[in-house]
Structure 1
Amino acid sequence: MRLATFNILHGRSLTDGRVDVDRFASAVRDLDADVLALQEVDRDQPRSHGADLTAVAAEAMGAVEHRFAATLAGTPGLWTSATGGGQPSTAEYGVALLTRLRVRSWEVISLPALRGRVPVVFSGRRRPVFVGDEPRCAIAAVLDGPLGPMTVAATHLSFIPGWNTVQLRRLAGRLRRAPRPAVLMGDLNLMGRRPAQITGWRSLADVLTFPVDRPNRQLDHVLVDGDLRAEAGARAVHTGLSDHRALVVDVGA
């Protein structure tokens, strides 16, 4: 079974600055994932030609089921919070989970929201900048895996140091009673072994994923709790899209 997570930057290429829906579909098809987590996903956004990028990806990979959860509604610069579950009929942005396996149940999990602005020191700056964050959520599904039920969750955590740790601990706690093995995939905005240390779950992939041209850190992760092993080394795939590489790993019991 192949797992993959990909922060798609709404399908935009840094090479030419364009969103080409056919090129995005081809990139997803080439990943050939059985279960795929996507972050920074557009639906009905003018900048991505009004496409439902989750539906485009589902058709490209041959997914039998998929779910999109909006965290923001409206267009860039005019964002408003979305609940993740309501999916109002307007332009949206969020995360998605797609699978070729049958789904027994879905759940959208809201993550703790940061209220107000906090000081963050960014690389290359001496003084902190006060920033806010967008709403965050996870999509969890109980799947019919090769050996029985398993849980997969997809998320995109805050870029604000410390707050992403709070969100990850909360999410791992919410998944504690879910069927095992359980997999957590996504752009966690945490580097290296830190996500495994926070959750107590095992990392299935130790590969640099960001920035796309010359990766020097791993922000994208596949974590597991339970009897699931990587069958070969994970790969960070340069798809020609996004500022992240896609993270791909083949697994077995």
Structure 2
Amino acid sequence: MIKVASYNMRKGVGLDRKRSPERILEVLNEIDADVVALQEADRRFGARACVISPQLLEAESDWKAVDFGMRAASMGWHGNALLVRKAATVESGGPIHLPALEPRGAVTADVTLPVGPALRIVGMHLDLSGLWRRRQAAAVMTHVDKAAEPRETVLMGDLNEWTGAAGCLRDFARRYQFAETGPSFHARRPVGRLDRIMVSPGLRVADCGVHASPSARKASDHLPIWAILEPS
């Protein structure tokens, strides 16, 4: 079994308006997932430097960041990053360029963990506009379909979709199963299921949920979500 998680970390700025990468890592260590998709992992302006420094990640966690080779100071691409266990093998990784009016992107990596099947992981943060979300969802699925080597796929991220069975959710549902994690936004009083985990037919969601520890309720305006996966 493999545990995955997705977390919009809001650039490390908590509900107390303090930026604390240490607090974000505390939350991630509580979840203890094998693979983590992060959104808003980099600062927005300038060099778009990563919020969690490589030194802090190395010293305080069991993960390494997938290197997408995009910006030297960033952890990912347009704020999207993937963390995997240090013992994992990353065969490939790169950005997915999404159609958008404002800067948006997704990232993907082919990963083999010490246990479980080889996986293709996609992390994304979709647009606020429903029309652009659907175009972006189509771009993500097309990118996965064009991969030279097929493998079981996990899609994760902040989809920004409030409607339960319409828009990009309906598009993704034609091909992927959703983990019924529950509402994750706003962290103070969760009502929106903006954050999602989806899996290809060869995977089964054995368990899933929203991580709502005291630390998680303060660290970001989103709560992290998680799922335990096994071959179907």
Query: Residue 154 in 1 paired to residue 119 in 2?
Result: no
Which amino acid counterpart does residue 97 of structure 1 have in structure 2?
L
Q: Specify which of 207, 226, 229 is matched with residue 248 of structure 1.
A: 226
- Structure possessing the higher relative contact order (Cα contacts under 8 Å, 6 or more residues apart): 2
What is the CA–CA distance in structure 2 between the aligned matches of 1:90 and 1:196, rounded to whole Å?
29
Query: Is 1:29 equivalent to 2:29 in the alignment?
Result: yes
Aligned to 1:77: none
- Is 1:9 the counterpart of 2:10? The answer is yes
Kindly report the root-mean-square deviation, in angstroms, between the aligned alpha carbons of the 2 structures: 2.7
State the partner residue of 2:158. Answer: 187
Give, as a single letter, the amino acid of the residue that structure 2 aligns with 1:12.
V
Gaps of 5+ in 2: none
Select the residue among 136, 142, 145 that pairs with 1:167.
Answer: 136
- Aligned residue pairs total 215
Superposition deviation, residue 26 in structure 1: 1.2
Q: Is the CA contact (8 Å cut-off) linking 1:141 and 1:152 kept in structure 2? A: yes
Cα 1:86/1:107, change in 2 over 3 Å? closer
Which residue is equivalent to 1:122? none
Equivalent runs, 1:233-244 vs 2, <5 Å: 233-238=208-213, 239=216, 240-244=218-222
Partner of 1:197: 170
CA spacing shift, 1:57–1:214, aligned 2, 3 Å: farther
Aligned to 2:96: 109
Distance 1:59 1:187, change over 3 A: farther
Describe the SS at the equivalent of 2:23. Answer: helix
For 1:65 and 1:211, the matched residues in 2 are separated by 27
How far apart are the structure 1 equivalents of 2:158 and 2:116?
27
Partners of 2:3 and 2:229 within 8 A in 1: yes
Q: Does 1:138 align with 2:123?
A: no
TM-score (norm 2): 0.81
User: Take 1:233 and 1:163, find their aligned partners in 2: how far apart are those partners?
Assistant: 28
CA distance in 2 between partners of 1:224 and 1:58 (Å): 29
SS at match of 1:158: coil
Equivalent position amino acid for 2:136 in 1: Q
1:154-174 C-alpha deviation (Å, 9 max, x unpaired)? 011111121111101111111
Shift of 1:217: 1.4
Q: Which runs of 5+ in 1 are unaligned?
A: 69-84, 115-133
Matched, 1:87 2:55: no
Residue 97 of structure 2 is aligned to residue 97 of structure 1: no
Residues 45 and 158 of structure 1: CA distance in aligned 2, closer, same or farther (over 3 Å): closer
Structure with a larger share of its residues in strand: 1
Match of 1:214 in 2: 189
1:52 Cα shift? Answer: 4.2
**CA offsets, 1:45-82, max 9 Å, x none?**
79x9x7642634465431145236xxxxxxxxxxxxxx
Q: Report the secondary structure of 2:63's partner residue.
A: coil
Please report how far the alpha carbon of residue 89 of structure 1 lies from its aligned counterpart in structure 2 after TM superposition. 5.3
> CA 1:230/1:216 → structure 2, altered by over 3 Å: closer, same or farther?
same
Distance, in Å, in 2 between the alignment partners of 1:184 and 1:58 is 25
Quote how far apart the aligned CAs of 1:205 are. 2.7
Distance 1:137 1:105 in 2: 17
Q: Secondary structure at the match of 1:189?
A: coil
The aligned counterpart of 1:62 is 62
Q: Displacement, 1:223?
A: 0.7
Percent of matched pairs sharing the same residue: 28
Higher Cα Rg, which structure:
1
In 2, Cα distance between equivalents of 1:44 and 1:173: 27
Give per-residue Cα distances to partners, 1:173-200, cap 9 Å, x unaligned: 1111443211100001113344442122
1:27-49 deviation per Cα after TM superposition (whole angstroms, max 9, x unaligned): 22112111000011125979x9x
